[in-house]
Structure 1
């Protein structure tokens, strides 16, 4: 827990020991030494949250001093050793804050130090993401009981947003309700389109609980699915299953996306596949591991698998699930089935 508005050390999170925040601080110091950073200054951001930050203020870490929290940039600057030659600052630091620090040193992004450490989630981080996914699951399961026929996309999005708030969601990052032809739009914003029988529905909730992000996307149909929809959707599910099996230690992080794309290409829908089939997720909705050849999965890494096919002006389908790379293979956090659910009118 952060010290209360002082320059004192942030000892630890409640219940943490050497393997918790204190151990993490030593890892950060090692990263600072490797990067040649003489101090680290963070404002409220995912990196700030990673080191136990809550609320506002600034966190300061030096090679020898305690992890401290202060109210103002000038106070942060006062904690930086006068001999410092290179300071790592938060990627979300505002220009006004940088000027207020009045640093006569070389600046670098703190993400160069923290991003590699954030790749592998600690058990307590995975537990937080599991709780977040459980809350998102609960909203989408409850959504099946709502009356969709005759409602508008915007009205249903409003109801889902209220349901998310009831679960303790602290930040709704994105909420998609798309009906009919709108399911074929990759970044659709809910509008006044009325939902009717025979419509496919794409519903996605992406939010943050206790600092950690999750996303669950599911596909429904009202009364009955459109013609040819189920055949297309079966390809999306096959792509997701194939991608899931690739989330294993030692496998390139690019493999899930590549394999999902290969399944979709082989079905004949390759021209209509989404541009992105997977991404890293954690304290940010889009972070490492990146689907690039030189990034390799190791236990504790978390990804959102999101295969999708969009047929312009007809319909589309996208499934999103967060998966942990476990020691022996993939560990999906969502317990809800991605199978097509047909709702009564």
Structure 2
């Protein structure tokens, strides 16, 4: 298997241990082979090149042509969700195709100590860029221009891949998933900024809220609710607690404030080799948190056509509580230029 130094080697022993667990899960689910292209699952099992990784009960092959390595008698084959249609047809097999994530996602929930360290480094790098936001010239700039500036700063930290840079001003802060556009940032605007990238192969997202010159009317009160919900979530993250109980702790705070109908439906998700992993901190996800899980905790309130606020920090589930991997204060910062 070829090795690319772009990503930290998880270690031959770790990969062997993962393969033992993967093959046990494959046997349980009746999956005869996995075919992965470069993706978080690919890297999880030691893939380093630009081709495919094929895992069967007998071998592991990194190759440009996966078809010859899939057993002729395979009945079910797990495929990477990022595979293209032409790649699926290229397998030329009659087996049932199923998502490889059904086998791999549960095994990726808990991280080794070295992986937690890598996530921590990623979170601190993103946080450092946001901590320096006050030194940038925001007045009169567009969302798109500031997003480009932040993207450049993110790359200067050693970020290998920028997954998203969100800058939303004024009424745009009330739009989940808003993409930076041509809106000019003016005094009196609320400002929501989030950064998500990959460092050393691992992902982290951090989001902060600012006010430009002065906060809009009633914004500080709403932001204080988001901050209280954020603290409630972090207090709830610990081994043995179901993910939906963390979501319930957030809902209790936001519902009690009167903003319940404006709350984001999900209060967080797992991060690691991918930027959107399990578990999900939302109603109905009964995944029990365990040591080694790393979570982006991100409660939010979005009041349509007015403003919104979202705080995102990365926390590791360790010992009996959460270890927050980001350290900057959450006081509402007012940008003065």
* Same fold, judged at TM 0.5 (above): yes
**Residues of 1 paired with 2:49 and 2:277: CA distance?**
22
**Residues of 2 paired with 1:225 and 1:159: CA distance?**
23
Aligned residue among 247, 250, 259 for 1:257: 247
Segments of 5+ residues of structure 1 without an aligned counterpart are: 6-12
| Other-structure match for 2:63 | 70
Shift of 1:293: 4.2
2:119 and 2:203 in contact (8 A); partners too: yes
SS at match of 2:251: helix
Segments of 5+ residues of structure 2 without an aligned counterpart are: none
Matched, 1:21 2:24: no
1:278 and 1:304 in contact (8 A); partners too: yes
Residues 152-301 of structure 1: matches in 2 within 5 Å? 152-290=142-280, 291=282, 292-301=284-293
2:3 and 2:47 in contact (8 A); partners too: no
| Other-structure match for 1:132 | 122
Matched, 1:54 2:44: no
**Residues of 1 paired with 2:3 and 2:143: CA distance?**
44
Aligned residue among 304, 311, 315 for 1:323: 315
SS at match of 1:289: strand
Superposition TM-score, scaled by structure 1 size: 0.90
Superposition TM-score, scaled by structure 2 size: 0.92
Shift of 1:14: 4.2
Runs of 4+ in 1 over 6 A off after TM superposition: none
**Residues of 1 paired with 2:213 and 2:136: CA distance?**
13
SS at match of 2:279: coil
1:199 and 1:222 in contact (8 A); partners too: yes
**Residues of 2 paired with 1:204 and 1:154: CA distance?**
13
SS at match of 2:295: strand
SS at match of 1:144: helix
**Residues of 1 paired with 2:301 and 2:81: CA distance?**
34
**Residues of 2 paired with 1:280 and 1:162: CA distance?**
26
Aligned length: 333
